[in-house]
Amino acid sequence: MKFKIIIFSLFLFAVNSAFSQNLKGIYVLNENTKTPISSVLISNLENSFQVNSDENGFVNLQNFSSENQKIYVSGIGYEKEEFDLNSIKKEKNFGYIFLNPKIVRIEEVQLKSSVKNNIFQTISDLDIHLRPINNSQEILRSVPGLFIGQHAGGGKAEQLFIRGFDVDHGTDVNISVDGIPVNMVSHAHGQGYADLHFVIPEMIDKVNFDKGPYFADKGNFATAGFVDFKTKDFLENNFAKLEVGQFKTYRGVLGLNLLKNKKDIKDQSLILATEAYFTDGYFDNPQDFNRFNGILKYHGKLNENNFLTAYFSVLSSKWNASGQIPDRAVEDGTIGWYGTIDANEGGKTSRYNFNANLKSYLKNGAKLSNQIFYTKYQFELYSNFTFFLNDPINGDQIRQKEDRNLYGFNSTYEKSVNLFGLKSDTYAGIQLRYDDVNDLELSRTKDRSLATERLKFGDVDEVNLGVFWSQKIALNQNFDITPSLRFDYFDNQYHDKLLNQKLKSNSNILSPKIKFNYRLNDNVQLYSYFGKGFHSNDTRVAVLENGKKVLPPALGTDFGGIFKIGKKLILQSAIWYLWLDQEFVYVGDEAVVEEGGKTERMGIDVTARYEIYKNWFADFNLSLAKPRSLGVPSNENLIPLAPKLVSTGGITYRKETGFNGSLRYRLMGDRPANEDNSVVAKGYFVWDGTFNYTTKNWELGVSVQNIFNVKWKETQFDTESRLQNETSPVSEIHFTPGTPFFSKLSFTYFF
């Protein structure tokens, strides 16, 4: 009898093992919300199998093997657990495991060389929630070493600063939302113009970022780094949010789940979210800034192999601006610190996006993603940088305007393979982008209504085809190497309607890259990256160069490491170098791009996260840079407005319910405003804070920017200008003041 029981038990074990072995994969889900969890590490007992869950929570088990049928699951923000594949929930050929969310404990974090550690490369929804934010543009401040500055009204894209770059509005940092490019090529206001105001902050799931030109799927503008926004596929709850703040500031947000899903596994959703925002701002001349956003998004599992994500979003915005003001006008009392010279500056913009992405899991274990997108974009901006320098009667106000259609297609292929007996991951793709820009205009105007002179007027057609391949090879469990190659082709055409002339050119660039990662142990991971990137030139200039100097390369290298020090501290540090063949300086009131020559930048980045006590966390970010122009005398080789020292940090108290909040600082050091540092752009040090009380059904919060009400200059330029009562021009600092003490009260109801 005992013998029969043993035989029967062995038979059941064999059946269960065979069943588990036939699993195509598993889905990792949140126990509370039943929604997918991405970036969770799945490993076996021997650590020979290490895979991260993808955006659908899926993990392919094709290469899974182990002495037992157990998997080990760990992820930042979730309890570390162990599961037996024989006993997990199953449907057809797929398994489902559920993780309990928890506040991050740094002592539980381990570093793995074969899987990218995302504690420093991802900003989560929780991070965003605990910082004072008025729009998605301000979320960029959460990227270590990245600073923003507003200087022409709240509706215009901010100035960006990163790794020793004043990148204008995006010339050297690649920004995208769900695969849709944010940077606008050949834009009316500047090459690479990146405006994120079309994203509702509460709809952001996470923000991935990294620095340098080392990433094969990042093409144009990805020299100093990239920032990828990912919007939510699921809402945990319906919600209605109301914010009221100083300076007649009002904001309302509504998020609705239109599909009711009572199943144990949520595999589809339909979300409607809207945002309405209004403020007069803190300037003497009211901004009368209003913005409306809306998004309707579907995400669903079509069948066991295909997921579809599609949405339509809309932005409409208009504002008045106080512009840049000269030091002398404030010092002599002509205007106050928050005053204005030209009260007719401002603008309006709109953006409509359609995005559809089909992700398919193929029979060979690969994943194929195909995305199409379309953007209808309109922009109109009135500015006055020099006041009465060029036109002493009407003034120097200009209008920059465009009407753009942006079409795109992205396709990527991912597969794990054995390469010469080594574990390897293939990542390859093709990217196609077509910008159809109509009536691209620069005109001199008066009072926004009268056009006194048309300086530039025409149509731009720009096509960018990019192809990339990346092969990650694990030489062993502790050391991997990733060679990559990218090829980009550009076709530029410009129809100059003033000269009735059609010009065109084409160009291409090959960008090799390679990354090394080495895990010394669970507490130390070292890396070295080398790569070539580029930023493109404005089409209106590119066609005049006949394809030359259109795609100047950038060469970079990073040497760094991530270190777990004790149980409570994680530190990342990197020494980096970046060389540019051509620095671009956009002259907005002439619609030209001037050549700034060859440049180099070198620096040190330090990022730290420390767990002070249970639920209490501190973070610190420091970036030091030495930017220099090459081929010029040493006393004239500084790069105007390039930051040399920036730092952010703070203390955060995190809990799922009850009290939570953060106190944060941002520091920008003094910068040279011209090549010889005879004019200095003064730095600033500002504190912000957020405090919330959260329950299951509602949340009450207060946020404050500039807690200590310091006077600071958010953006600064060394500009030559002339006021109406002056007989000769003056060159000095012109600035936009940063926000004074600004508080908001918010209430959110969940239902």
**Cβ neighbours of residue 113 closer than 8 Å, sequence gap 6 or more:** 477, 478, 479, 480, 517, 518, 519, 525
Q: How sure is the predictor about 262, in pLDDT bands with cuts at 50, 70 and 90?
A: low
CA separation for the pair 603, 647 (Å, rounded): 13
**CB of 655 within 8 A of CB of 96?**
no
The band of 594, judged by pLDDT with boundaries at 50, 70 and 90, is confident
pTM above 0.85, yes or no: yes
Residue 18 has pLDDT above 80, yes or no: no
Nearest to 54 by CA among 602, 331, 427: 427
Residues whose CB falls within 8 Å of the CB of residue 366, separated by 6 or more in sequence, listed in order? 413, 414, 415
User: Tell me, what's the pLDDT at 737?
Assistant: 95
Q: Determine the 3-state secondary structure of 478 from DSSP.
A: coil
Tokens read off for 235 = 């809402």
3-state DSSP call for residue 152? Answer: coil
Q: Is residue 42 within 8 Å of 26, Cβ to Cβ?
A: yes
> Closest by alpha carbon to 143, among 564, 666, 663?
666
Residue 6: both structure tokens together: 């043993």
pLDDT (0 to 100) of residue 120: 66
Q: Decide: 238 and 750 in contact? Cβ < 8 Å.
A: yes
pLDDT at 747: 97
**In the predicted structure, residue 706 carries a pLDDT above the cut 80:** yes
pLDDT over 90 at 55, yes or no: no
- Name the band, by pLDDT with cuts 50, 70 and 90, for residue 653: very high
Average pLDDT, the chain: 90
Q: Count of CB atoms within 10 A of residue 420's CB? A: 6
- Encoded amino acid at 350, one letter: S
Structure confidence at residue 560 (pLDDT):
94
- Cα gap 55→53, rounded to integer Å: 7
pLDDT at 691: 94
Does pLDDT of 650 surpass 80?
yes
pLDDT band at 108 (very low <50, low <70, confident <90, very high): low
- pLDDT given at position 579: 97
Mean pLDDT of 68-95: 83
pLDDT at 6 over 50: no
Lowest pLDDT segment from 80-89, 267-276, 364-373, 611-620: 80-89
How far from chain centre, in Å, is Cα 28?
A: 26
Model confidence pLDDT, tens digit, residues 414-473:
999 988 889 999 999 999 999 999 999 999 999 998 889 999 999 999 999 999 999 999
- The CA-CA-CA angle for residues 521, 523, 526, to 5°, reads 70
Quick one: average pLDDT of 120-147?
76
Residue type, 137: Q
Q: Evaluate if residue 308 carries a pLDDT over 50.
A: yes
Residue 16 pLDDT more than 50?
no
Residue 714 pLDDT level (bands cut at 50, 70, 90): very high
Residue 583 belongs to what H/E stretch? none
State how far the Cα of 554 lies from the Cα of 534, in Å rounded to an integer: 5
DSSP letters, 380-430, are: EEEE-SSBTSS-TTT---EEEEEEEEEEEEEEEEEEEEEETTEEEEEEEEE
Q: By CB neighbour count within 10 A (0-12 exposed, 13-18 middle, 19+ buried), where does 90 fall?
A: middle
Bridge partners, residue 503, by sequence: 494
Q: Which residue has the higher pLDDT, 370 or 25?
A: 370
